[in-house]
Every structure is written in C-alpha cells, then in structure tokens.
Amino acid sequence: MLNELDSLSEKITRLLRLVDSNRQTLGDRETQLNRMRVERDEALTANHALRAERDALRQERDTLLAKIEDAQVKLNAILEKLPPPRDRNAAQQDGADARADGNTHHHDAAGAEVMAEQEPHVEGESYGR
C-alpha cells in the first residue's frame, strides 16, 4: 500500500510538472500571439497608408496625363494653323525677293506669316502718322 501511495504521489507530481510546463508553454504562446497581433496591426496600418499614398499618386498621374493630353490637343491645333514647312533655300529666296520688292514678313497673332508692303520712307518725314 505504501508503494502504491509513493507511485501515486510520483504520478501526481509528474502531472503537476506537466500542467506547469503546459501553462508556461501556453503563456509563451499567448505572448507570441499577442506580439504577432501587434505586428499584424502595424502591417495593416502601414498597408492602409501605402494604399492611400498609391491612390494619391494614381490620382496625380491621371491629372498629369489629362493635362498632357490637353496640351497635346492644343499643340496639334496650333501646328495645324501653321503654314506647311518649306525648305531653307525657298525661305531664303522668299526673304530676298521680299526685300527686293519692298515687302516685309511678320507674323499675325496666330503665328502665321503675313506679308505687308513697306511704304517708302521719305527723308524728313516722321514714322508716326
């Protein structure tokens, strides 16, 4: 009977050690779980901040693309109003012909080249009429 009590006492002691060990392990796991939850919350917060920044950058990109497209449309409209390009020799010849004819070239408000005849200047006459 004494042997049975000693054996039972040893088994109870082993059970108590296992329970303590399991409690310690459980406490460690709960601490680890809480730490992981904090890390998860920090990661989610960072993720939300990055998504907000990404969305802001997308909005800025879309705004800039719209401005670029608008500028391209305006540039194309301006380019369509310009006269067709001429080669350099023809442009130089036209300039020489105009000087010989007494004509000058200037550009109107739209940028198109306009020829105007010069009035001959008489000595003693003022330019402002």
Q: What is the pLDDT along the chain (129 residues), one digit of tens a residue?
A: 889 999 999 999 999 999 999 999 999 999 999 999 999 999 999 999 999 999 999 999 999 999 999 999 999 999 999 988 877 666 677 666 666 655 555 555 555 555 554 455 555 555 443
Contact 104, 116 (CB under 8 A): yes
> What's the rounded Cα separation, in Å, for the pair 43 and 50?
10
What pTM, to 2 d.p., does this model score? 0.47
Residue 117 counted as domain residue: no
Give how many domains the chain has, as a whole number: 1
pLDDT tens-digit readout, 71-96: 999 999 999 999 888 776 666 776 66
Do the domain assignments include residue 53? yes
E strands, 1-129, where? 103-107, 113-117
Q: Can you give the residue range of the structural domain that contains 41?
A: 2-98
For residue 79, is it within any domain? yes
Strand (E) positions, 2-128?
103-107, 113-117
For residue 105, is it within any domain?
A: no
Is residue 72 in a domain? yes
Could you tell me if residue 123 is inside a domain?
A: no
Query: What pLDDT score was predicted for residue 129?
Result: 38
